[in-house]
Structure 1
């Protein structure tokens, strides 16, 4: 058995992947600008900005959310599973850490979207894209449960659905880790459950399937790196990753199940292996990981702002087929996300965790 290289405390490669995935969702949601109510009106996908360059993102960018789930599963099994199993991470600490990480920005963007939708409906007599913006769905959003099966439609800052599902996943993950040695058999069972639920129960099914596939990926990766040198692990994982993507590219049709169950796990494993072998690789791109959550939650309210401004200036929505509008959007989104991370997310996180430590 190879004596494994001590693992790094942060995998910048996965940070970069998470940040890129968040920005991919923006391309997928660019279609929002052409909606009237909850339906696209005269929307031509191939007319969207830089289509030849980013066509895969316009067609399949929604799968980036499932990639989020898989990255989360890998990272949680890596960072927390042993501590929970050994009782060095308490339920209280785990819950406070997750709440402080996710809730402040969620509630801030929920209030922002509610305000912007109130303005938008006053001008257009319909909401922007997501229509179930009533008191019932406001309560679901405040409780961070708008994707637990109680909802009657998409509401408010709807991309939060994946975070809502992750809250359920965190609970199941914690309980599973407490069981200890049965963790991986239960993980495989969870994957089977997710496979059964998807795609009929799209939100819960894809979340359970991909999160626990991420967990299995970590288990396989950890076993592999204990049996071989970090360099050999890097080469092996990279070849597996390339093989899965070549399979998808040559199959003639993009199969979402194959992407989620083959391509995403091998990509995560390959990038994790690179991060172990070269701990500082992509360190300069860590900012992409830092702003992944903020860019993911901010992009929809920013779309409402852009729609209101262009409508107010008398532009047709076809202006969003122009490359300059997308460029302008990213020029605003990325610095705004960075400012939000530094001046809202991190201070709120520190405050709530400090409060949690001192409250009995």
Structure 2
């Protein structure tokens, strides 16, 4: 009975301060996309941090996710159960938004003769979106609901993260490897290390629980 209560407590784990941070980050991302898509910047002096800070807000989401997922799912020993729970969390909303955006894209192109922002709205990219693979290197570009790229990245990171979630030593080793790899890449290349930094941030924050 006690164990059951502990599991329920973990499943409903919340930290109000972190919820507030997530809310601010979500608002920041929404304001950025409004600014980006509609080329509008009302109250620019006040909202400038939101217009320019989208990468920071996305990184914040990934870092918070690393901590919160460790807290919520660390009691689950089965990799299969972890995947089922995460699929139930991510995929239904992804499918709903994909269908809505697909319909919106269809009618927009019907009216204006051109896609809205994203052009790779074909069957191939639709299937990538169905399986949350639209930002894995298999894509030709952004498609349908472009901002859902972060959900695709999160899903792939989840698959890796859940391998280490119950194994603190492995988590530490993995984090050290990622640190070393990132330093090597920084020295070897001057380019976009976005995915690497997100992967590292997502894994490393799990150490806060250990």
> What is the aligned partner in structure 2 of residue 190 from structure 1?
178
Cα distance in 1 for residues equivalent to 2:32 and 2:86:
27
> What is the aligned partner in structure 2 of residue 72 from structure 1?
65
Q: Give the deviation of 1:213 after TM superposition.
A: 3.6
> What is the aligned partner in structure 1 of residue 200 from structure 2?
209
Equivalent residue pairs, number? 196
Structure 2 CA distance for partners of 1:126 and 1:206, relative to 1, 3 Å: farther
Question: In 2, are the aligned partners of 1:187 and 1:215 still within 8 Å (CA)?
Answer: no
Aligned pairs for 1:27-176 within 5 A:
27-34=31-38, 43=39, 48-81=41-74, 83=75, 88-176=76-164
Q: Given the two structures, how large is their TM-score scaled by the length of structure 1?
A: 0.50
Question: In 1, are the aligned partners of 2:125 and 2:134 still within 8 Å (CA)?
Answer: yes
Structure 2 CA distance for partners of 1:10 and 1:138, relative to 1, 3 Å: same
Structure 2 CA distance for partners of 1:162 and 1:151, relative to 1, 3 Å: same
Q: Give the deviation of 1:95 after TM superposition.
A: 1.0
Q: Give the deviation of 1:17 after TM superposition.
A: 1.0
Which 4+ stretches in 1 moved above 6 angstroms?
none
Cα distance in 2 for residues equivalent to 1:62 and 1:181:
30
Question: In 2, are the aligned partners of 1:73 and 1:211 still within 8 Å (CA)?
Answer: yes
Aligned pairs for 1:277-288 within 5 A:
none
> What is the aligned partner in structure 1 of residue 19 from structure 2?
15
* Other structure's SS at 1:182 match: helix
> What is the aligned partner in structure 2 of residue 200 from structure 1?
192
> What is the aligned partner in structure 1 of residue 30 from structure 2?
26
Q: Given the two structures, how large is their TM-score scaled by the length of structure 2?
A: 0.82
Give the structure with higher Rg (CA): 1
Question: In 2, are the aligned partners of 1:32 and 1:129 still within 8 Å (CA)?
Answer: no
Structure 2 CA distance for partners of 1:141 and 1:173, relative to 1, 3 Å: same
Cα RMSD for the two superposed structures: 2.4
Cα distance in 1 for residues equivalent to 2:52 and 2:31:
9
Structure 2 CA distance for partners of 1:126 and 1:62, relative to 1, 3 Å: farther
Question: In 1, are the aligned partners of 2:13 and 2:71 still within 8 Å (CA)?
Answer: no
* Other structure's SS at 2:157 match: helix
Q: Give the deviation of 1:12 after TM superposition.
A: 1.4
